[in-house]
A and B are shown apart, each in its own frame.
Chain A
Amino acid sequence: MQNTTIAYDSKVEGEVIVTQADAVINWIRKHSVWPMPMGLACCAIELMAAGGARFDISRFGMEVMRFSPRQADCMIVAGTVTYKMAEVVRRIYDQMAEPKWVVAMGACASTGGMYRSYATLQGVDQIIPVDVYISGCPPRPEALLDAMIKLQDKIGAEHSVKNLFPEKADSKDVAEVTNKS
Chain B
Amino acid sequence: MATSKEISIGDAGARASELEGDLQGETMMLNVGPSHPTTHGVLRLKMELDGDVVKRCEPVLGYLHRGDEKIAESMTYNQFIPYTDRLDYIAPLSNNVAYALAVEKLANLEVPERCQAIRLLCCELARISSHLLGVGVYGMDAGAWTVFMYTFTEREKLYTLFEELTGARFTTSYTRIGGVARDIPDGWLGRVLEFCKGVLPVLDQVDKLLTRNRIFMDRTVGIGMISKADALAYGLTGPNLRACGVDLDLRKDKPYLGYENYDFEVPIGTNGDCYDRYLMRAEEIRQSVGIIRQCIGKFPEGSYYTEDAKKIFAPQKAKVLTSMEELIQNFMIVTEGPQIPKGEVYFEAENPKGALGFFIHSKGGGVPYRMKIRGPSFCNLSILDKLIPGHFLTDITVILGSLDFVMGECDR
Contacts and interface: CB of A to CB of B under 8 A. Distances in A.
Q: Do chains A and B touch in the complex (CB under 8 A)?
A: yes
Interface of A: 38-42, 44-46, 48-49, 52-54, 67, 79-80, 82, 84-85, 88-89, 92, 114-120, 137-138, 140
B67 A88 contact: no
Contacts of B85: 42
A85 B149 contact: no
Contacts of B37: 67
Interface string B164-181: 000001110000000000
> What 8 pairs between A and B have smallest CB-CB spacing?
A117-B67, A42-B89, A52-B152, A85-B63, A115-B66, A54-B156, A67-B37, A119-B67
B89 A120 contact: no
B30 to A, nearest CB: 16
14 contacts: A39-B41, A40-B64, A49-B152, A49-B155, A53-B153, A67-B35, A67-B36, A82-B64, A92-B35, A115-B66, A116-B71, A118-B67, A138-B170, A138-B171
Interface of B: 34-37, 41-42, 62-67, 70-71, 82-83, 85-86, 89-90, 133, 149, 152-153, 155-156, 159, 169-171, 407-408
Contacts of A119: 65-67
A92 B63 CA distance: 15
Given A41-B41, A80-B64, A82-B65, 13 more contacts: A40-B41, A41-B89, A41-B408, A42-B171, A49-B152, A67-B35, A67-B36, A82-B62, A88-B63, A115-B66, A117-B66, A118-B67, A137-B82
A53 B37 CA distance: 19
B34 A120 contact: no
A124 B37 CA distance: 21
Contacts, number: 85
Contacts of B90: 45
A114 B86 CA distance: 11
A40 B42 contact: yes
A117 B169 CA distance: 26
Contacts of B35: 38, 67, 88-89, 92
Nearest to A112: B66
A52 B63 contact: no
Nearest to B92: A42
B66 A82 contact: yes
B396 to A, nearest CB: 15
Given A114-B82, A137-B171, A52 B149 contact: yes
Nearest to A67: B37
A92 B33 CA distance: 11
Contacts of A38: 35
Q: Which of B35, B90, B149, B170 has the most C-beta atoms of chain A within 10 angstroms of its own C-beta?
A: B35
A115 B42 contact: no
